[in-house]
């Protein structure tokens, strides 16, 4: 405080072209000070810098970090409007101490800090089009390796799941994705994908979600053409051990068959025939209404509560009649139609 007291007592210490001074806040604005004349004093550049060094030692916590930033900024500031400006020299001891203190202050004050959208946009524009070197990529990979993602352990809400389930990329996004991907995957890439997915079975919930998402969607003509062209001239084979199936050419099929693969596809007609040959005997039951006995499934379906007993039809028993011309006996109706006056033997007898 002796520096401030001496500066206030020195009436001649005013800013002019011949005498360079700076305005100093006795209580800095960053820790609650104001711009009133009582809180300001004119100091030389050297006195101003020394006061800020003393403030670092007088304060603690976040207020101390703010004074470290201010003192560090003062080291590199030069006045452009005055011939003398800040002409004091910073020795190596003060410079090193301030830089170390600033590094600690930055580490503490910036931990957990989130940049605003405007700041992120400016940083994105500044780095747009600047390719990263391989060393930079390796450093980023090493720094992020093993670090959990920002959303790990956070369960998705039902609303978020619904949005993901029914989300569809726009045509513009699909075009960008096609441009960014290579035309054809390398064989090593295909092998890695096949190895990673081998043996994995989607859950029933996943299958239901896929079914609901694709319900009512019809493949385009282009997609159908590609699928047919891919299957043209190829055959299905499958491995009964690993339960893996492939669509291969006839040449590849012969090679795979020698390695233990089977012709056809699991669940196809060649494997369904085995299921049909299995013997399955149903329990026999008897209907209490009609007394008929049969397999349980059909009996439950057509009998018991659904039983409709057969009611015999009441047939009219015709009287028997005998033709006098040929002696044939039968029902009265047919005999009248074809015999008696219409009998073919009648005319023979008359002749």
Instruction: Judge whether residue 267 has pLDDT over 60.
Output: no
- What are the φ/ψ torsions at residue 286 (nearest 5 degrees)? -120, 135
Residues 271 and 346 in one domain: no
What pLDDT, in 10s, does the model give residues 303-315?
888 887 665 555 5
Residues 250 and 329 in one domain: no
Q: Is residue 195 part of a domain?
A: no
Q: Is residue 187 part of a domain?
A: no
Domain count, the chain: 4
Q: What pLDDT is stored for residue 105 in this prediction?
A: 86
Domain boundary among 110, 145, 174: 110
Residues 20 and 101 in one domain: yes
Residues 259 and 287 in one domain: no
Instruction: Judge whether residue 273 has pLDDT over 50.
Output: no
Check the CA dihedral 288-290-294-297 and report its sign.
Answer: negative
Q: Is residue 207 part of a domain?
A: no
- What are the φ/ψ torsions at residue 293 (nearest 5 degrees)? -115, 140
What pLDDT, in 10s, does the model give residues 149-190?
878 888 888 888 888 877 888 888 888 888 877 667 788 888
Q: Is residue 34 part of a domain?
A: yes
Residues 327 and 246 in one domain: no
Residues 14 and 105 in one domain: yes
Q: Grade residue 280 by pLDDT with cuts at 50, 70 and 90.
A: low
Residues 71 and 102 in one domain: yes
Residue 174 tokens read as: 């699909």
What pLDDT, in 10s, does the model give residues 75-131?
776 665 555 556 566 777 787 788 888 888 888 888 888 888 899 899 989 888 888
Residues 243 and 302 in one domain: no
Contacts with 85 (C-beta within 8 Å, 6 or more apart), sequence order: 20, 45, 78, 79
Q: What pLDDT is stored for residue 188 in this prediction?
A: 85
Residues 270 and 295 in one domain: no
Residues 292 and 236 in one domain: no
Q: Please tell me the pTM assigned to this model.
A: 0.34
Burial 266-301 (b: 16+ CB within 10 A, else e): eeeeeeeeeeeeeeeeeeebebeeeeeeeeeeebee
Q: Is residue 21 part of a domain?
A: yes
Q: Is residue 194 part of a domain?
A: no
Q: Is residue 222 part of a domain?
A: no
Residues 48 and 82 in one domain: yes
Angle CA 343–344–350, to nearest 5: 95
Expressed as residue numbers, the domain containing 258 is 229-277
Q: Is residue 214 part of a domain?
A: no
């Amino acid at each position: 405080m002796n520096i401030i007291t001496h500066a206030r007592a020195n009436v001649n210490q005013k800013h002019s072209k011949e005498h360079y001074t700076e305005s100093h806040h006795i209580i800095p604005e960053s820790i609650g000070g104001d711009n009133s004349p009582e809180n300001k004093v004119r100091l030389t550049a050297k006195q101003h810098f020394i006061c800020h060094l003393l403030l670092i030692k007088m304060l603690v916590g976040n207020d101390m970090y703010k004074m470290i930033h201010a003192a560090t900024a003062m080291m590199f500031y030069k006045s452009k409007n005055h011939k003398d400006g800040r002409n004091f020299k910073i020795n190596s001891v003060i410079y090193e101490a301030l830089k170390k203190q600033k590094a600690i202050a930055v580490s503490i004050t910036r931990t957990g800090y989130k940049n605003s959208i405007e700041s992120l946009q400016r940083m994105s524009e500044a780095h747009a089009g600047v390719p990263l070197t391989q060393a930079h990529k390796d450093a980023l990979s090493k720094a992020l390796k093993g670090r959990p993602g920002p959303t790990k352990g956070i369960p998705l809400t039902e609303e978020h799941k619904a949005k993901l389930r029914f989300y569809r990329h726009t045509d513009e996004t699909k075009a960008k994705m096609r441009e960014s991907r290579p035309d054809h995957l390398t064989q090593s890439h295909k092998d890695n994908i096949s190895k990673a997915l081998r043996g994995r079975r989607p859950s029933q919930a996943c299958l239901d979600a896929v079914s609901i998402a694709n319900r009512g969607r019809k493949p385009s003509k282009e997609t159908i053409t590609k699928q047919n062209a891919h299957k043209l001239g190829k055959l299905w084979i499958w491995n009964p051990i690993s339960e893996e199936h492939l669509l291969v050419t006839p040449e590849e099929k012969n090679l795979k068959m020698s390695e233990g693969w089977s012709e056809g596809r699991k669940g196809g007609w060649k494997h369904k025939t085995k299921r049909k040959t299995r013997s399955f005997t149903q329990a026999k039951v008897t209907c209490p209404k009609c007394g008929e006995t049969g397999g349980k499934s059909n009996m439950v379906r057509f009998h018991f509560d659904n039983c409709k007993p057969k009611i015999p039809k009441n047939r009219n028993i015709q009287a028997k009649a005998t033709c006098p011309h040929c002696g044939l006996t039968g029902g009265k109706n047919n005999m009248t139609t074809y015999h008696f006056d219409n009998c073919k033997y009648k005319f023979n007898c008359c002749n």
